[in-house]
Structure 1
Amino acid sequence: MCDVSTDPGDFINARSFGQGAAETGDYVKTVVRQMRADNMGAVLKHFPGYGSNIDTHTGIAIDERPLAGFRDGDFVPFTSGIQAGAGAVLVCHNVITNVDPDLPASLSPAVHELLRRELAFDGVAMTDDLIMDAITAYTDGADAAVLAVKAGNDMLISSDFVTQYGAVLAALSSGELDQSQIRAAALRVIRWKMDLGLIEA
């Protein structure tokens, strides 16, 4: 958990380290290094940082903080984890208005571009559960998976696997999604599994 929260009143506080950005970054670095030593896959979440937002399981979270605040605070633990060798980053469903005011982060190409370019992350990007209320409020459910792939996610998490899987297959058949993007995502996942020794090189 890379989220920075020092306020017990925050929804995310009980799930966080409960310290400032620097302390959380040191903690994340230590945990990721140990997980790698134990041959465990590490997933950093919830990018770009949850903040004091409401629970996206039950509602839409609008985060109006300036991007500079993320860079000075929330990005610190993610950068520490990435540099320590974490193989995956989970993107939150919060709407980050100063990056993309129209889409939840998990469905936003702009947020994924930030992760890839500014934080130089080349591992596996994944969504949070695509049937949480913060997503179903923006989509009709089936479209969520297609938007998530278009945004740049390599793995999709969904409690309604059948619907989401079917939506991606249909979008591939119609040409709405490009085969090359699916291959690139699959290669990132395969490289992660190879790095963990789950499949042979």
Structure 2
Amino acid sequence: MSDKNKLTATFIALIAMIVVIGGVMMLSNGLNANNNGQGGPAAGVSRVTTGGPSTTKAGTTGEASQNGTTKENAANTATTETVATEAVTEALDSIEQRINDMSLHEKVCQLFIVTPEGLTKGGNYTAANETTKASLKEYPVGGIVYFSKNIESADAISEMISNTSEYAAEEGMIPLFYSVDEEGGTVARCAEKAGTTSFSPMYDYKSEGEKTAYDNAKQIATDISGLGFNLDFAPVADTWSNPANTVIGKRAYSDDFHEAATLSSSAVKGFQDGGVFCTLKHFPGHGNTSGDSHYGVVYSDKNIAQLLSAEFLAFRSGIDAGADMVMVGHITMNGVDRLPASISRIMITSELRSRLGFDGVIITDSLSMKAVADNYSSGELAVRVLEAGGDMLLMPADLGAAATGVEAAVAEGRLSEERIDESVYRILELKSKKMDITNK
């Protein structure tokens, strides 16, 4: 059942419960009206036995009392129904009504997180400007991701995010995710360019245990939140199980599956307590591969049973800790369906969503990576991600082509608009925890 359907079912149950309570109140009031408090007939009322069911013969006093009670019950029922209706409407309006007010193009754009250059179709941006504003109007995306080249200083990136936020508000857009890869160690854009706290690779802290994993994550989150970021593509939940692996290496918290699970879940809590949304990456696990999906196809020969006792441990633990997002990598799963995980319905819907129980936002790794970009057009790749059950599309090679491809798939019936709505709902539900998504 989709999140929207679950919510609707919950509120239907709520209405039913309120109606039952209202009925009990009416019955109670009716009994009080027909009782004198001692179990006998009320004043002015006598019982008449006819050999069949009991009937009531009302005198003038009882009739007046009964009429008064009837009016009171009617008023109580009307009040109860009004309160129930208002409660349901208010809860649904905050997310579902916003979706109902969005065009298909707006909903599709909400699925994308892009770089400043990907949004504006070129350039090298260290400041938001009128081109940024015009591009947001054309493509009201769900978020922007910043890299080292976009960060000149702490003040500059803060101003860039602030100005972008103002432009989005002027256009009546839903507030954006402002994201960055800030893992600590070798992947730390803000520590490198904005002077935030610098850390060694997370692997170097593995012997210090859960508290250090939590403290490091909280400090990173506190630092980047102060710059204006609200989403970190961290922690790394991969386990460095293959010593020859260089794309993950010491970015991982451990080379032991159980230890990686414990430490990465502690990091989840640290990032959240530091004030940002966090992302487990790179499902189903990139630490056992020998290649780098940035530059070509990468394979895993493991089957589901093998993954469950190894790579999945850290993702399950992080999900149980409350991770906001999970990033799916482009590892081709030879032991499962021979598809990149990012477009695999088995990996995303059957395993991540159903088996591991993740009901948050599922985002892809960069769709510009050669592991997938060399084999699929931007439009086709975006559609396949959504068909597999993904929610957000990170850094397509061509934003316009990707958005057009999704819209065309809806028009052709390959994707339903309800499928788009499901992902938009998850995105807005997450955003609503830190942002006002109702203002237009």
| Common topology (TM > 0.5) | yes
The answer to whether the Cα contact below 8 Å between 2:337 and 2:344 also exists between their aligned partners in 1 is: yes
Question: Is the Cα contact below 8 Å between 1:28 and 1:81 reproduced in 2?
Answer: yes
Query: Is 1:172 aligned to residue 410 of structure 2?
Result: yes
Q: Which runs of 5+ in 2 are unaligned?
A: 1-235
Distance 1:8 1:22 in 2: 17
CA contact (8 A) 1:60 1:137 kept: no
1:8-157 to 2 correspondences below 5 Å: 8-11=243-246, 12-53=248-289, 54-101=291-338, 103-112=339-348, 113-157=350-394
SS at structure 1 position matched to 2:286: coil
> Is the partner of 1:100 in helix, strand or coil?
coil
Matched, 1:2 2:240: no
The structure with the largest helix share of the pair is 2
Deviation for aligned residue 1:171: 1.5
Q: What is the Cα deviation at residue 70 of structure 1?
A: 1.1
Q: Distance in 2 between matches of 1:71 and 1:98?
A: 13
Contact 2:343/2:384 (CA < 8 Å) preserved in 1? yes
Q: Sort the Cα spacing of 1:100 and 1:64 in 2 relative to 1 into closer, same or farther, 3 A.
A: same
**CA separation in 2, counterparts of 1:135 and 1:164?**
14
> Which has the higher Rg, Structure 1 or Structure 2?
2
What is the CA-CA distance between 1:167 and the residue it aligns to?
1.2
Alpha-carbon distance in 1 for matches of 2:400, 2:437? 29
RMSD between superposed Cα atoms in Å: 1.6
Tell me the CA shift for residue 50 of structure 1: 1.1
| Structure 1 ranges of 4+ moved more than 6 A | none
CA offsets, 1:76-133, max 9 Å, x none? Answer: 11111111110110111011122212x2100111111210111011111111111211
SS in 1 for 2:238: coil
Higher relative contact order (CA 8 A, sep 6+): 1
Aligned equivalents of 2:346, 2:437: Cα separation in 1: 34
Q: Is the 8 A contact 2:253 2:264 kept in 1?
A: no
CA distance in structure 1 between the partners assigned to 2:318 and 2:346 by the alignment: 21
- 3-state SS in 1 of match to 2:309: helix
Please, what TM-score do these two structures have when normalized by structure 2? 0.43
Contact kept, 8 Å, 1:158 with 1:164, in 2: the verdict is no
- SS of residue matched to 1:42: strand
Structure 2 residue matching 1:139: 3-state secondary structure: coil
Q: State whether residues 63 and 95 of structure 1, in contact with CA within 8 Å, keep that contact through their aligned partners in structure 2.
A: yes
The number of aligned residues is 199
Distance 1:7 1:114, change over 3 A: closer
TM superposition shift of 1:35? 1.8
Tell me the amino acid that sits aligned with residue 307 of structure 2.
F
Once residues 16 and 162 of structure 1 are traced to their aligned partners in structure 2, the CA distance between those partners, rounded to angstroms, is 34
AA partner of residue 25 (structure 1): A
* CA distance in 2 between partners of 1:130 and 1:7 (Å): 25
Q: Which range is displaced more, 137-146 or 40-49?
A: 137-146
Deviations 1:112-158 (A, max 9, x none): 12101110111111111112111023313331011111111110012
Q: Could you say what secondary structure the match of 1:129 adopts?
A: coil
Aligned 8 A contact 1:4 1:49 in 2:
yes
